[in-house]
Amino acid sequence: MTVGILALQGDFEKHAAMLERIGTPYREVRKVADLASVDALIIPGGESTTIGRLMARYGLDVAIRERAQQGMPIYGTCAGMILLAKEIAGSSQERLGLMDIAVIRNAFGSQIESFEADLPFKPFADRPVRAVFIRAPIVSRVGVEVEILSEFNGKVVAVQQGKLLATAFHPELTDDERVHRYFLSLIEQRV
């Protein structure tokens, strides 16, 4: 299996380093042809407006939606969560709209208010995950098919809808491989 990492803007290199550490083959996705050769996709953190515009410019938005409808697992971190959401508070920016969630961008404040926290993460009852929040969104509404995987101070910060996974935080900036490994397990599942 090969995991694609959307490499238009953002911290895609950190996801690549995590996949290398796990031993999972990956490919940087910059055009539709790249997407055709991967089994799953990670949408990294970065500037969601910029990533959304570039996806639309290169036709990746349509191609990603088609692959998602065919059952391709997709994991979005931070900006990736925003791009997966159906609704973005106060914004009409480009998005994939694949997850039945509403998000609020920069819900924890600006870059200087970035922080780390240990959070419970539903798939891992044994110990919390280390979460790095950088200008992170929160989920303000979840649809009936969306499962809440983690909260911070009563705010939803990780969700799953079928083979779509989204976290407001950046596990790729830690040494904890569990969230990425959990995402990889979705590739094997038949839904």
Question: Are 60 and 26 in contact, with CB atoms under 8 Å apart?
Answer: no
The yes-or-no answer on residue 180 being catalytic is no
For residue 166, how many other CB atoms are within 10 A of its CB? Answer: 29
Q: Exactly one of 15, 94, 172, 180 is catalytic; which is it?
A: 172
Distance between CA atoms of residues 101 and 67, nearest Å: 19
- Which strand (E) or helix (H) includes residue 120? strand 115-121
Q: Exactly one of 15, 94, 170, 180 is catalytic; which is it?
A: 170
The yes-or-no answer on residue 188 being catalytic is no
DSSP assignments along 138-165, one per residue: EEEEE-TTPEEEEEETTEEEEEEETTEE
Distance between CA atoms of residues 128 and 150, nearest Å: 10
Q: Exactly one of 13, 47, 66, 78 is catalytic; which is it?
A: 78
Distance between CA atoms of residues 121 and 57, nearest Å: 35
Question: Are 103 and 140 in contact, with CB atoms under 8 Å apart?
Answer: yes
Query: What 3 state SS string does 161-187 have?
Result: ECCEEEECCCHHHCCCCHHHHHHHHHH
* Residues labelled catalytic: 78, 170, 172
